Amino acid sequence: DVVMTQSPLSLPVTLGQPASISCRSSQSLEHSDGNTYLNWFQQRPGQSPRRLIYKVSNRDSGVPDRFSGSGSGTDFTLKISRVEAEDVGVYYCMQGAHWPRTFGQGTKVEIK
Amino acid sequence: ITLKESGPTLAKPTETVTLTCTFSGFSLSSSGVGVGWIRQSPGGALEWLALIYWNDDKYYSPSLNNRLTITTDTSKIQVVLTLTDVDPEDTGTYFCTHSFRSKLSTNDFDYWGQGTLVTVSS
């Protein structure tokens, strides 16, 4: 199985400041179809996970543009340009290039 | 698109648990569509379990393969996940998800249900 490793696991941030989460995969996520399948999910307290970013850098509908994804191969990053109170929750990366699909451990974002 | 999970809230060790995903806003008869299951442990870890596509292609987590079965009803408006021989480590929230794939791309887990909590305890 592809192992997804996130860091940090806990991220206290100040409102209005940027935040960055790293995700590394144990194998390349570049698929033979030419796409790189790395997704990011947000789970707010008491809610189901919600997909924010797909294929490394594509924002899902309704996702604010303060969220951005980047990376290639095995190294990926989710950035929040200016953290807002509604961004509190746990963020997970997930690879969709290989079976079985696997998730990172999650990064808990909280306000300082 | 909406998905909703249903099933028992409590199960005893060694029992078989059957979970149903009822969805709307899309058809599992449409080319490319898939419905899958993901669970979340009480500690928060997400684990992908199984996925079935419109053409009956099925994928399972190898760690649970021999205990999982994913099927769809004949009208293709529900997807059922069966987990046999449950154990307290199977306790968690089980989510149903929508996926889509084409020759050019795969689109995983863009919609999720609210989840259903299953507790395994004697």
Q: How confident is the model at residue B73 (pLDDT cuts 50, 70, 90)?
A: confident
Instruction: Summarize pLDDT for A2-25 with one digit per residue, the tens.
Output: 999 999 999 999 999 999 999 999
According to the model, what pLDDT value does residue B74 have? 80
Instruction: Summarize pLDDT for A87-100 with one digit per residue, the tens.
Output: 999 999 999 999 99
Quickly list DSSP for chain B. Answer: -EEEEE--SEE-TT--EEEEEEEESS-TTSTTEEEEEEEE-TT--EEEEEEEETT--EEE-TTTGGGEEEEE-TTSSEEEEEE-S--GGG-EEEEEEEEEE-SS-EEEEEEE---EEEEE--
Q: Is the pLDDT score of B75 beyond 90? A: no
Residue type, B90: D
Measured CA to CA, the distance from residue A107 to residue A91 in angstroms comes to 5
With beta carbons under 8 A apart, name residues in chain A contacting B51.
Answer: 101
According to the model, what pLDDT value does residue B2 have? 97
Q: Does A28 touch chain B (CB under 8 A)?
A: no
According to the model, what pLDDT value does residue B47 have? 98
Q: Is the pLDDT score of B111 beyond 80? A: yes
With beta carbons under 8 A apart, name residues in chain B contacting A23.
Answer: none
Q: Is the pLDDT score of B45 beyond 90? A: yes
Instruction: Please give the DSSP secondary-structure letter assigned to residue A30.
Output: B
Instruction: Summarize pLDDT for A33-86 with one digit per residue, the tens.
Output: 999 999 999 999 999 999 999 999 999 999 999 999 999 999 999 999 999 999
Taking residues B114-122, report their average pLDDT: 98
Measured CA to CA, the distance from residue B55 to residue A50 in angstroms comes to 26
Q: Are B30 and B98 spatial neighbours (Cβ–Cβ below 8 Å)?
A: no
Phi, psi of A103 (to 5 degrees): -115, 155
According to the model, what pLDDT value does residue B65 have? 67
With beta carbons under 8 A apart, name residues in chain B contacting A102.
Answer: 48
User: Residue A64 contacts by C-beta under 8 Å, 6 or more apart in sequence?
Assistant: none
Q: Are A95 and A37 spatial neighbours (Cβ–Cβ below 8 Å)?
A: yes
Q: How confident is the model at residue B90 (pLDDT cuts 50, 70, 90)?
A: very high
Taking the CA of residue B76 and the nearest CA in chain A, the distance in Å comes to 24
Taking residues B54-78, report their average pLDDT: 92
